[in-house]
């Protein structure tokens, strides 16, 4: 299939402050004006706290699957503020990063943020899925736990959530930050069945196969085998140096997906350390107005198919 690549380039500031553009088959740039919600003075988004209440519009709740009754394994479900029973909404499925104390990252489902920043709390059902720990009694906060159980959890519960709450199974995006950015492929493309669930993929900071880690199957050949299951679908790779993923890794494999690369300078978005933003490696960058958020959301809304629920 033909390669389709979009590169999003930071504005040039001086001779050393720019992102070089590699040779690609096709390159397009975002030139649309910043949307109204990016006007100066807009407050940062705040991810809703997870509660144990019943699901409702604008509420983020803790859910335990029937298979894991009487355990600490759970996922978090958020129904958008415009959710109504009988509607049909696109779905964002998120995997969290590892426990990362320098950035106050807990590695826990309840502390996921990226999917909420993507949607702004409206138009999308958002589900933070767990990594099931070895022993299947709790969620893993570092790496994959029981990988087979983690994959099976998603394959069972995503269709269940869509059926019960009006999620559109034809419009599901998988996303993740850090460990979750790798996990979007390592978990989300683990086999043909789970890979078939996704309309597209969105990652921030790290990518499956970019480097070798201390777990089986982290090598590049294994990662490329997983990425082949994308079969040309859209992928937005964001990060502090997303173009390094392209130029140092994927440049010879751009036919695996419809890749878009977006460099996100978190040290320019935030004055680190600032409030909750303690480290440039953060899933909170989409909680603040910026041209990078505009571009990421534009990609998202071009990928999904409009339905009763609409994106941003």
Return the pLDDT at 24.
Answer: 30
Q: Name the more confident of 240 and 17.
A: 240
CB 227 within 8 A of CB 252: no
Q: Do β-strands 258-263 and 6-8 pair in parallel, antiparallel, or remain unpaired? A: parallel
Which alpha helices (DSSP H) does 2-146 contain, by range? 114-119
Q: Do β-strands 125-128 and 167-177 pair in parallel, antiparallel, or remain unpaired? A: unpaired
Predicted confidence (pLDDT) at residue 14 exceeds the cutoff of 70: no
What's the pLDDT tens digit per position in 78-109?
Answer: 999 999 999 999 999 999 988 655 555 577 99
Predicted confidence (pLDDT) at residue 19 exceeds the cutoff of 60: no
Return the pLDDT at 182.
Answer: 96
Query: 179-186 and 220-227 are packed helices; what angle lies between their axes, rounded to 10 degrees?
Result: 60
Q: Name the more confident of 99 and 282.
A: 282
Return the pLDDT at 100.
Answer: 56
**CB under 8 Å to 275, separation ≥6 — which residues?**
none
Both structure tokens of 293: 């958020």
Tally of helices (H runs) and strands (E runs) in the chain: 8, 9
Predicted confidence (pLDDT) at residue 203 exceeds the cutoff of 70: yes
Return the pLDDT at 312.
Answer: 47
Q: Name the more confident of 9 and 48.
A: 48
**CB under 8 Å to 208, separation ≥6 — which residues?**
181, 182, 184, 185, 186, 189, 218, 223, 226, 227
Question: Sorting pLDDT into bands at 50, 70 and 90, what band is 246?
Answer: very high
Four-way CATH pick for 6-303: 3.40.50.1820, 3.30.70.1350, 3.90.1010.10, 3.40.50.720 = 3.40.50.1820
Return the pLDDT at 271.
Answer: 80
Alpha-carbon span 251 to 90, nearest angstrom: 31
Return the pLDDT at 120.
Answer: 96
Domain parsing of the chain, residue ranges: 6-303
- pLDDT above 70 as % of the chain: 81
Alpha-carbon span 104 to 263, nearest angstrom: 23
* Mean pLDDT of all residues belonging to the chain: 85
What's the pLDDT tens digit per position in 254-276?
Answer: 999 999 999 999 988 888 777 77
């Amino acid at each position: 299939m033909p390669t389709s690549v979009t590169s999003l380039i930071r504005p040039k500031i001086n001779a050393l402050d720019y992102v070089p553009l590699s040779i690609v088959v096709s390159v397009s740039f975002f030139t649309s004006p910043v949307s109204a919600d990016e006007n100066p003075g807009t407050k940062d988004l705040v991810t809703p706290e997870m509660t144990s209440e019943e699901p409702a519009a604008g509420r983020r709740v803790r859910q335990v699957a029937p298979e894991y009754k009487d355990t600490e394994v759970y996922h978090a479900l958020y129904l958008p503020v415009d959710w109504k029973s009988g509607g049909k909404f696109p779905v964002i499925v998120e995997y969290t990063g590892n426990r990362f104390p320098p950035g106050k990252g807990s590695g826990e489902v309840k502390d996921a943020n990226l999917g909420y920043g993507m949607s702004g709390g409206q138009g999308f059902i958002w589900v933070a899925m767990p990594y099931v720990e070895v022993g299947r009694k709790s969620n893993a906060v570092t790496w994959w736990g029981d990988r087979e159980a983690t994959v099976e959890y998603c394959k069972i519960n995503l269709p269940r959530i869509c059926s019960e709450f009006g999620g559109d199974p034809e419009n599901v995006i998988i996303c993740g930050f850090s460990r979750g950015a790798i996990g979007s492929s390592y978990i989300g493309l683990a086999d043909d069945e789970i890979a078939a669930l996704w309309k597209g993929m969105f990652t921030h900071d790290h990518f499956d196969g970019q480097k070798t880690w201390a777990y089986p199957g982290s090598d590049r050949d294994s990662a490329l085998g997983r990425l082949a299951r994308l079969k040309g679908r859209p992928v937005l790779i964001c990060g502090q140096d997303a173009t390094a993923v392209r130029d140092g890794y994927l440049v010879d494999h751009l036919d695996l997906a419809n890749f878009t690369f977006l460099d996100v300078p978190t040290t320019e978005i935030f004055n680190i350390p600032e409030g909750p933003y303690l480290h440039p490696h953060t899933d909170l960058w989409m909680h603040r107005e910026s041209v990078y958020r505009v571009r990421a959301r534009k990609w998202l809304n071009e990928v999904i198919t409009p339905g009763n629920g609409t994106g941003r």
